[in-house]
């Protein structure tokens, strides 16, 4: 049975009053944007409910788009009938009969906003439920744990009948929490970190450090592909590609071997901070995960993190790898992430990287690297910026 409407549920339960309004309007702006290719739909707000009126547009395609919109908790396909008992009964029965697999138990849940209607909701529960029961062999009522709850909303302008609830992404509408710079490597973790930050309302730009000729063009393309996958949820993403080879080779020559990763990460953060500030980002997002590798012990995170004054957001910090992989699969980045192209951080990897670096020592050694500030400036200057969208990548390096 083709639905006529989609009922939308937005926002977390704690949202109230004006905040809820602002939130809903933001989500609706995104919905309109994502559903541009369905010109006949109309969005209707009524008694605190928000619907999409389909006007003949296909539910399936629209449903796929709705599953990519942050702030939408769930939605239901809805059938509209005249507010009249025969019609309510007929469509309720059809809806039940069309279900696959066939439910064995159900209950009817009527909500009546049209108080002048001659039957109240209790009576309607019985009038509709009894009718469906009578015409469906084998079906039983179970008020506590039914297979299906048939929801009937009785309004003056029509009655809405539905039973299915499809989960959305939840979270906050994109852009409601400002913009941050995602440090995007080619690994499994950082795209997931970016996704989770977006789900909390943050817009993203991304920065990637690459070390040609030690890392290949394909490693860079892999990162652009990952960014492209994230644009499914966000529209365009600016990706800054930073040439990191010179800094790495210098560090490899001059720095103490077991601290190379520490210095490298601090240099990355300094460059990221500069790019972030230049582009009005308020935070830095990483895929750090506590204890995963030497650079992600609490001690390393402390020493590395001190290189910047900007907030570093680490959405994955306490998650298990299994949970991260599950999200990576859900958002379709996993297959790309496990492609075997080398990462800039693995090429100069020392045998025994420090897991407990000393902040004072690291800061002193860094001060004595007189060449470092200029190298950092050069890297920022030579950064190439690419705008990645679902359709194409535009190179913009000349504009920055
Ligand atoms: P990932 O799977 O995201 O690569 P990881 O578990 O491999 O993470 P590391 O390689 O230690 O961990 O990196 C930790 C974080 O540092 C990454 O999640 C990412 O945010 C950032 N990072 C690492 N390498 C790069 C890079 N080449 N460019 C940009 N950011 C990077
Ligand atoms: Mg990595």
pLDDT of the chain, 400 residues: tens digit per residue: 899 999 999 987 777 778 888 899 999 999 999 999 999 999 998 877 899 999 999 999 999 999 999 999 999 999 999 999 999 999 999 999 999 899 999 999 999 999 999 999 999 999 999 999 999 999 999 999 999 999 999 998 899 999 999 999 999 999 888 999 999 999 999 999 999 999 999 999 999 999 988 888 899 999 999 999 999 998 899 999 999 999 999 999 999 999 999 999 999 999 999 999 999 999 999 999 998 777 889 999 999 999 999 999 999 999 999 999 999 999 999 999 999 877 766 667 778 888 899 999 999 999 999 999 999 999 999 999 999 997 655 655 544 3
39 burial type by CB count under 10 A (0-12 exposed, 13-18 middle, 19+ buried): exposed
Do 132 and 52 fall into the same domain?
yes
Is 173 inside any structural domain? no
- Is 48 a domain residue? yes
The CATH number of whichever domain residue 52 belongs to comes to 3.30.2130.30
* Per-residue confidence (pLDDT) for residue 344, from 0 to 100: 66
Atom of ligand 1 nearest to the CA of 287: 18
8 Å CB contact between 139 and 103? yes
* DSSP β-ladder status, 312-313 and 283-285: parallel
**Is residue 37, in this structure, part of any structural domain at all?**
yes
- Rounded CA-CA distance 390/388 in Å is 7
Chain-centre distance of CA 188, in angstroms?
15
In this structure, the residue with its CA closest to atom 30 of ligand 1 is 183
Pair of tokens at residue 161: 């009948």
Encoded tokens for 184: 């995007």
Asked if residue 265 belongs to a known ligand binding site, the reply is yes
End residue of a domain, out of 104, 132, 167: 167
9 falls within a domain:
yes
141 and 196 inside one domain: no
CB atoms within 10 A of CB 371: 11
Residue 257 DSSP label:
G
CATH of the domain at 296: 3.40.50.620
* Closest atom of ligand 1 to CA, residue 223: 28
Ligand 2 geometric centre to CA of 346 (Å)? 8
Could you tell me if 148 and 200 lie in one domain?
Answer: no
- Identify whether residues 136 and 254 lie together within a single domain: no
H helix intervals, the chain: 17-34, 59-66, 85-97, 121-135, 189-199, 217-234, 245-254, 260-278, 298-305, 321-330, 334-337, 344-347, 359-367, 372-381
Structural domain count of the chain: 2
Confirm or deny that 183 is annotated as ligand binding: yes
Give me the domain span that covers residue 264: 179-389
Same domain, 276 and 296: yes
Same domain, 197 and 49: no
- CA 190 to ligand 1 centroid distance, Å: 6
Q: What is the pLDDT of residue 399?
A: 45
End-to-end CA distance of the chain: 53
Final residue in a domain of this structure, among 167, 190, 213: 167
CA dist 203 → 71, 181, 254, 279 (Å): 14, 9, 38, 12
The answer to the question of whether 150 is labelled as a binding residue is: no
Among 167, 195, 227, residue at a domain's last position:
167
Q: Are 198 and 70 in contact (CB under 8 A)?
A: yes
Residue closest via CA to ligand 1's atom 20 equals 286
Q: Which of 31, 36, 28 is nearest to 66 (CA)?
A: 31
Q: Do the domain assignments include residue 163?
A: yes
**112 located within any domain:** yes
Largest CA distance in the chain: 87
Question: What is the pLDDT, as a whole number, of residue 345?
Answer: 64
Q: Does ligand 1 come within 6 angstroms of the Cβ of 336? A: no
Is 17 a domain residue? yes
* CB atoms inside a 10 Å sphere around CB 227: 28
- Rounded to the nearest angstrom, the distance between the alpha carbon of 185 and the centre of ligand 1 is 5
Asked whether residue 30 falls in the same domain as residue 121, the answer is yes
Q: How far is Cα 281 from Cα 276, in angstroms, rounded to an integer? A: 5
Looking at the structure, tell me whether residues 137 and 81 fall in a common domain. yes
Question: Residue written as tokens 């239901």?
Answer: 76
Looking at the structure, tell me whether residues 162 and 226 fall in a common domain: no
- Whether residue 24 lies inside any domain: the answer is yes
- Pocket mutation for ligand 1, best pick of 181, 189, 226, 297 (most atoms within 8 Å of C-beta): 189
- CA-to-CA distance for 284 and 204, rounded, in angstroms? 10
Instruction: Supply 36's token pair.
Output: 């541009």
* Residue of 287, 301, 316, 334 best suited for mutating to test ligand 1, as the one with most atoms within 8 Å of CB: 287
Cβ of 197 less than 6 Å from ligand 1: no
Q: Which residues pair with 74 in a beta bridge?
A: 9, 167
300 and 338 housed in the same domain: yes
Q: Rg of the chain over CA atoms, in angstroms?
A: 27
Q: Which ligand is nearest to the CA of 295?
A: 1
> Does residue 200 have a known ligand-binding role?
no
At residue 16, the pLDDT reads: 77
Query: 201 labelled as ligand-binding?
Result: no
Query: Is 189's C-beta closer than 6 angstroms to any atom of ligand 1?
Result: yes
Atom nearest to 190 CA in ligand 1: 3
Classify 308 as helix, strand or coil.
Answer: coil
Residues 96 and 213 in one domain: no
- Pairwise CA distance, residues 176 & 148, whole Å: 36
Residue 108 near residue 180, CB atoms below 8 Å = no
Instruction: Locate the ligand 1 atom nearest the alpha carbon of residue 265 and give its number.
Output: 16
**Which residues sit opposite 151 in a β-bridge?**
109, 162
Rounded to the nearest 5°, which phi and psi values hold at 61?
-60, -40
Tell me the pTM: 0.89
CA of 186 to the centre of ligand 2 (A): 6
Q: Which pLDDT score, from 0 to 100, does residue 398 have? A: 43
Distance 287 CA to ligand 1 centre (A): 6
**184 in contact with ligand 1, CB cutoff 6 A:** yes
Same domain, 221 and 318: yes
Residues paired with 110 in a beta bridge: 152
Q: How far is the CA of 372 from the centre of ligand 2 (A)?
A: 23
Show Cβ contacts of residue 148 under 8 Å, excluding neighbours closer than 6 positions.
96, 99, 103, 105, 106, 107, 163
Residue 346: both structure tokens together: 């693995």
């Amino acid at each position: 049975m083709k639905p006529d409407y989609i009922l939308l549920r937005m926002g977390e339960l704690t949202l109230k009053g004006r905040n809820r309004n602002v939130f809903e309007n933001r989500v609706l702006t995104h919905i309109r944007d994502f559903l541009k290719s369905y010109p006949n739909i109309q969005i209707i707000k009524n008694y605190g409910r928000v619907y999409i009126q389909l006007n003949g547009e296909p539910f399936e395609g629209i449903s796929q788009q709705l599953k990519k919109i942050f702030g939408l908790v769930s939605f239901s396909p809805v059938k509209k009938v005249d507010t009249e008992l025969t019609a309510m009964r007929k469509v309720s029965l059809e809806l039940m009969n069309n279900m696959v697999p066939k439910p064995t138990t159900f209950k009817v849940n009527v909500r009546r906003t049209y108080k002048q209607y001659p039957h109240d909701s209790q009576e309607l529960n019985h009038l509709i439920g009894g009718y469906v029961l009578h015409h469906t062999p084998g079906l039983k009522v179970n008020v506590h744990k039914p297979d299906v709850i048939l929801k009937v909303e009785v309004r003056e302008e029509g009655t809405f009948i539905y039973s299915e609830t499809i989960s959305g992404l939840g979270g906050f509408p994109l852009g409601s929490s400002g913009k941050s710079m995602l440090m995007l490597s080619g690994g499994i973790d950082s795209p997931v970190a970016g996704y989770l930050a977006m789900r909390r309302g943050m817009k993203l730009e991304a920065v990637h450090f690459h070390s040609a000729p030690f890392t290949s063009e394909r490693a860079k393309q892999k990162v652009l592909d990952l960014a492209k996958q994230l644009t499914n949820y966000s529209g365009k993403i600016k990706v800054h590609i930073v040439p990191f080879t010179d800094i790495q080779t210098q560090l490899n020559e001059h720095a103490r071997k077991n601290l190379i990763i520490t210095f490298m990460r601090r240099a990355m953060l300094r460059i990221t901070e500069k790019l972030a500030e230049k582009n009005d980002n308020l935070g830095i997002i990483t895929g750090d995960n506590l204890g995963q590798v030497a650079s992600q012990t609490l001690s390393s995170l402390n020493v590395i993190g001190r290189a910047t004054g900007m907030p570093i957001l680490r959405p994955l910090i306490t998650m298990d790898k299994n949970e991260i992989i599950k999200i990576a699969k859900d958002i379709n980045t996993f297959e790309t992430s496990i492609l075997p192209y080398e990462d800039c951080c693995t090429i100069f990897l020392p045998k025994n990287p420090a897991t407990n670096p000393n902040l004072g020592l690291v800061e002193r050694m860094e001060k004595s690297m007189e060449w470092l500030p200029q190298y950092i400036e050069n890297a920022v200057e030579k950064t190439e910026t690419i705008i990645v969208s679902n359709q194409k990548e535009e190179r913009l390096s000349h504009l920055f």
